[in-house]
């Protein structure tokens, strides 16, 4: 019986040893890189299903109070196109810009509505080129009910007043030929008055005074228009 017991112990030892090898194999397999990846993927899937998932970032052009336009995708952001036309004749950057094929007084192309905060200051930047005409860029203002308020012009050729008298390099009082047929970057700032809830940017090839106007032979061009928050209202 004792010999048998020792033999049984030997068998048990062998079995336990084999089981130990199997156990080690299982532990190694559980820590293999492939399984770690699956675990991470499972955790990620679980996290994605929870309400705490971070929302997707909103493009700059769609953020509150912002407007970004390079005209590479056409005029989708403009509610009123007027005589505006996309051209690949010239561009400050990329392949396209916008020109105006007729002269208007009071605005021609008008953008989508842009929500703004009264008392905050916004910065308008645009690239502009003239071959001889005078162009303008400005704002239509709206209250919370969508009622249109008086317009404001921000940059122009000097033939009509702008906020702060911001002008193109080529204007009614300074007609240097070196400023023709060249792109330049311009900036204007505007503080939103109380009672204004949204604005629309608008463009025109000025046809009511100022520089001579003939878009067929001396057009104006706009590109890389940016309207962004510069500083919030002090509280």
For 116, 142, 181, 197, the CA distances from 192, given in Å and listed in that order, are 7, 11, 33, 9
Tokens of 177: 């030929």
Shared domain for 36 and 70, answered yes or no, is no
Q: Which domain holds residue 214?
A: 61-231
The phi and psi torsions of 229 (rounded to 5 degrees) equal -70, 130
Shared domain for 25 and 65, answered yes or no, is no
Question: How many residues in the chain?
Answer: 235
- At 63 the pLDDT is 52
Instruction: Please list, in sequence order, all residues whose beta carbon lies within 8 angstroms of the beta carbon of residue 92, skipping any fewer than 6 positions away.
Output: 127, 129, 183, 185, 223, 224
Judge if pTM exceeds 0.95. no
- At 82 the pLDDT is 96
- Domain holding 222: CATH number? 2.60.120.260
Does any domain span residue 49? no
Could you tell me the end-to-end alpha-carbon distance of the chain, in angstroms, rounded to an integer?
95
Give the total number of structural domains in the chain: 2
Shared domain for 9 and 101, answered yes or no, is no
Does any domain span residue 54? no
Does any domain span residue 221? yes
Does any domain span residue 99? yes
Does any domain span residue 19? yes
Does any domain span residue 114? yes
Higher pLDDT, 18 or 133: 133
Q: What is the pLDDT of residues 23-40, one digit of tens each?
A: 333 333 333 333 333 223
* Residue 110 predicted with pLDDT over 70: yes
């Amino acid at each position: 019986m004792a010999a048998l017991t020792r033999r049984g112990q030997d068998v048990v030892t062998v079995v336990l040893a084999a089981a130990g090898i199997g156990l080690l194999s299982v532990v190694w397999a559980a820590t293999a890189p492939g399984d770690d990846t699956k675990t991470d993927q499972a955790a990620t899937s679980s996290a994605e299903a929870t309400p705490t998932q971070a929302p997707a970032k909103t493009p700059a052009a769609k953020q509150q109070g912002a407007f970004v336009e390079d005209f590479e995708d056409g005029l989708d952001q403009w509610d009123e196109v007027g005589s505006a036309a996309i051209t690949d004749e010239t561009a400050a950057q990329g392949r396209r810009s916008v020109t105006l094929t007729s002269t208007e007084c009071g605005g021609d192309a008008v953008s989508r509505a842009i929500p703004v905060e009264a008392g905050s200051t916004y910065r308008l930047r645009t690239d502009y080129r003239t071959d001889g005409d005078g162009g303008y860029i400005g704002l239509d203002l709206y209250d919370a009910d969508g009622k249109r308020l008086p317009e404001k012009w921000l940059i122009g050729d000097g033939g009509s007043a702008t906020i702060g008298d911001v002008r193109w390099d080529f204007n009614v009082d300074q007609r240097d030929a070196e400023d023709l047929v060249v792109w330049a970057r311009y900036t204007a700032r505007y503080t939103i008055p109380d009672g204004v809830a949204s604005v629309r940017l608008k463009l025109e090839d000025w046809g009511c005074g100022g520089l001579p106007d003939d878009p067929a032979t001396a057009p104006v061009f706009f590109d890389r228009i940016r309207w962004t928050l510069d500083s919030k209202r002090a509280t």
